[in-house]
Amino acid sequence: MGRSFDDLVAEAEAVPVDGWDFSWLDGRASEERPSWGYSRLLAERMARATAALDIQTGGGEILAGLPVLPPVTVATESWPPNLRLAAARLRERGAAVVADDEEPRLPFRTGVFDLVTSRHPVRTWWAEIARVLRPGGAYFSQQVGPRTVFELAEFFLGPLDGSGRDPERARAEAEAAGLTVVDLRAERLRMEFRDVGAVVYFLRKVIWIVPGFTVARHRSRLRDLHERIEAEGPFVAHSSRFLIEARRAVAPG
């Protein structure tokens, strides 16, 4: 017999959810990773850059894990708990962390970065990215694609419109901002949640899957989910990811 519903939920409701470290879910949930290896590709580009900007850096986990950072490295973040984590992690790597609401205008001069990056941005402001890139500079990003974790979202919310976050729409918006898309790849990846506590933790941390999620508000459906997992095994969902790289043209002459 597994742990009780109340025990699993209480534990997951109490654990901190700051930053983008998901190690608390080890053994309780899993997600396939995209085949392209974002961190490896990012490391290659960071090693060649001289001035880089990472937008919506979270707790700075991705940047802090890279072997080499450019001489000028700046990260932005809007959520205060993540700001504190990012500042603590990145200060010793010589990177600056700037508080920003993640909407235009970015608090930087035009044409100052040769690399702009972002992992899973809430929204991509293409015109601003194009503005802060130097001629020949590139934007490199792994993004959440369409219908991500919809199986879980629809379990709580009912049928949803899954037409957003289309990779081809991202291509069109990048090109409309004057950038040339040089790489675009997409994959759909299996996820498993092995207990209801993993679901509670995930929904508390990834707040856009079930907007306004709280244990109190959704307790009845959480109990239904617990009983389903106990009877049938892990709850299976799918994440969607796409990789996009877009470059600003070199000025003629």
Q: In what order do the strands lie in the sheet with 179-193?
A: 29-31, 179-193, 235-248, 133-144, 113-119, 51-54, 72-77, 96-99
Q: First-to-last CA distance in the chain? A: 73
Question: What DSSP designation does 109 have?
Answer: -
Q: How far is CA 97 from CA 63, 170, 205, in A?
A: 11, 26, 21
Predicted TM-score of the model (pTM): 0.88
**CATH of region 5-248, choose from 3.40.50.10580, 1.10.1200.10, 3.40.50.150, 1.10.760.10:** 3.40.50.150
Question: Which pair of structure tokens corresponds to residue 28?
Answer: 């309780």
pLDDT tens sequence for the chain (253 residues): 579 999 999 999 999 998 888 999 999 999 999 999 999 999 999 999 999 999 999 999 999 999 999 999 999 999 898 999 999 999 999 999 999 998 899 999 999 999 999 999 989 999 999 999 999 999 999 999 999 999 999 999 999 987 789 999 999 999 999 999 999 999 999 999 999 999 999 999 999 899 999 999 999 999 999 999 999 999 999 999 999 999 999 877 5
d(CA 187, CA 200): 25
What ranges do the domains of the chain cover?
A: 5-248
| Residue 51, beta-bridge partner list | 72
